[in-house]
Amino acid sequence: MKKSILILIFCLFGVLSAFTDLSAQSLVQSYESNPVTKKFILLPVKTGAAKTWITVNVDGVFQHEFEIELAPENPDFYATLEVGQWKGKKLVLSAETVVPGSKWISLTKTSDEMSDESLVYKEELRPQFHFAPRRGWTNDPNGLVYYNGTYHLFFQHNPYGTSWGNMTWGHAVSTDLLHWNEMPDAVIPDKNGVVFSGSAVVDWKNTSGLQTKPIKDKTGKITNPPLVAFYTSTDANRGKGKSAQSMVYSVDEGKTWIKYPGNPVIPHIIGGNRDPKVFWFEDKQNPKNGHWTMALYMDGEDYALFSSKNLIQWEKICDIKNLGCSECPDMFELPVDGNKQKSRWVFWGGNGKYLIGNFDGKEFKVESGPFTTKYGGNDYAAQSYSDIPAKDGRRIQFSWMQGGEYPKMPFNQQFTSPRNLTLHTTPDGIRLFMEPIKEIKNLVISVPVTFSAGLKGLDKPIQVPNIKGELLDIEVQFELKAYTASDTNNLLKAEILGQKISYNLGNQLISLAGIKAPLAPVDNKIKLRLLVDRTSIELFANDGIIQIAKCFVNKDKEPANLTISGNKDLANVKIVAYQLKSVWKK
């Protein structure tokens, strides 16, 4: 009898335990807006909270899904979901798993403004003249295109959290590459998958036919060409899909984007094929042979070029190998030493390695390389602008400052400053140079600080007077005096906001925060340009033949003291320092 009672007790205990476990499990919950009346739904996010998948259904039809750290209470920030396109319809957001007792539904808001308007751009670690998204994660710059006075910047974006995921194309616009107005996300995931990196062009001749109501001027030029963007669709069905190349287009100057109904335009080929970079090849010998070209990462360290007459049907034309990197190709033509009659093509990869060669529209013939201009640090997946007017003539590039840290911020990661790329002849051959764009000078607050002195010794650093603030553009020139080239004890040093820079004349290596790059003196000089922001420093050496980007957090809130040191009588130093202003309205 006692044995039976014990068995009964154990059975009851098991049932109760199962019930307790069941009640502790997460619950499925839904938020409904019927009808939709506002442009945005603002979702509460708590960094570190349990992640859940949310599906978006409109009038009972699945639209897309995303993963989010829903705040059960006390959200860290609000994520923006654009719903204005569904005004008047029934919207249901279904959270797959929700912690019991979560208040996320009552915390969710509707608004005609994007999230956190009163707080955004005022955060403690917000970069002040480098782009970072309002909220959420970013990585690669995408779809860089200029049209009708506006620079469009698209970017890999997780709108719903500060870690990688939910890849969409964020969107921001600017008239000067510095002051950005962030728009709602332009390209969101669909049945083909999430939205990886790519590029954008202006289809000036409407070769695609996507502008169904073209307007022509007296010369026959189309005045309302479509903007067309290419990206990689991947990870459909939560990581089980294959990568393919898809297309969106805009017929209202980039305000709204329409997915091409025939996506993908290039089905999966091999491996992780991705990151399409599209440009127009103008055949100088026979303009009728002009066509669109796509550079595409294939697999391993292999790339390929494709050709199209209409941006829709593509055929492979050649392979490009031995670049020494993967992902994120770019390809462009530049004059050498400013001479347009002596140009070369540059093929660029994700980590900043590049080849120099010639391209006849069918084959890229490598002349030299691979080389690199960028060394380590926080710099990856750069892309350059298309369709910058010929009268401007610059090749302007952005890069992701990979791996920066922004603790407790509602955003994560930033971009480099925009840089201008040029080709120059050096004693070692033709090389790529990069320098900050001239528009940076428009941020200068007051007259520059100028200073010159002779070095007094490594143990006697010189503090440059009157340098203020945390936003700086500093030019440093060391004019070398008598020295023994092989002496590794010949050192030049500088330090700003705790970031240490050194140059060793013996091995001709420059270092920023331990990141080293080869650098030879030019005309017996070492020239440095430093762009210092609240969370980053960028170093450009000898007019940009070397560039190092480094993110940092000024944990001790050190003042902006610039110190210079080096072996006594090794060099004279000249400094011009500009204090810069923030690009954000306070």
Q: Could you tell me which residue, 585 or 14, shows the higher pLDDT?
A: 585
CATH number, domain 444-579: 2.60.120.560
From the candidates 76, 116, 140, 387, which is the catalytic residue? 140
Return residue ranges of the chain for CATH 2.115.10.20. Answer: 138-438
Residues 420-457: tens digit of each pLDDT: 999 999 999 999 999 999 999 999 998 999 999 999 99
Phi and psi at 16, nearest 5°, equal -60, -40
Please say if the pLDDT value at position 20 is more than 50: no
Residues 528-544: tens digit of each pLDDT: 999 999 999 999 999 99
Q: What value does the mean pLDDT take over residues 459-473?
A: 94
Measured between alpha carbons, how far is 303 from 328 in angstroms, rounded to an integer?
A: 10
Burial 42-61 (b: 16+ CB within 10 A, else e): bbbbbbebeebebebbbeee
140: annotated active-site residue: yes
Stated pTM of the model: 0.93
Please say if the pLDDT value at position 45 is more than 60: yes
Residues 191-237: tens digit of each pLDDT: 899 999 999 999 999 999 999 999 999 999 999 999 999 999 997 66
Residue-level pLDDT at 16: 37
What is the architecture, at CATH level 2, of domain 23-111? Sandwich (2.60)
Residue-level pLDDT at 484: 67
CA distances for 313 relative to 223, 297, 310, angstroms: 24, 18, 7
The token duo for 197 is 């990196």
Task: Please spell the DSSP secondary structure of 427-457, one letter per residue.
Answer: TTEEEEEEEE-GGGGGGB-SPPEEEEEE---
Return residue ranges of the chain for CATH 2.60.120.560. Answer: 444-579
Residue-level pLDDT at 8: 39
Residue-level pLDDT at 14: 43
CB 338 within 8 A of CB 326: no
Residues 117-174: tens digit of each pLDDT: 999 999 999 999 999 999 999 999 999 999 999 999 999 999 999 999 999 999 999 9
Does domain 138-438 bear CATH number 2.40.50.140? Answer: no
Least confident of 20-29, 337-346, 474-483: 20-29
Half-sphere exposure of 222 (CA within 13 A, CB side): 18
Please say if the pLDDT value at position 9 is more than 50: no
Residue 535: partners with Cβ closer than 8 Å, 6 or more residues away: 125, 127, 130, 404, 406, 414, 551, 552, 553, 554
Residues 294-331: tens digit of each pLDDT: 999 999 999 999 999 999 999 999 999 989 999 999 99
Task: Please spell the DSSP secondary structure of 202-219, one letter per residue.
Answer: E-TT-TT---SS--B-TT
Please say if the pLDDT value at position 26 is more than 80: no
CB 248 within 8 A of CB 233: no
Burial 518-528 (b: 16+ CB within 10 A, else e): ebebeeeebbb
CA distances for 343 relative to 282, 374, 424, angstroms: 14, 22, 10
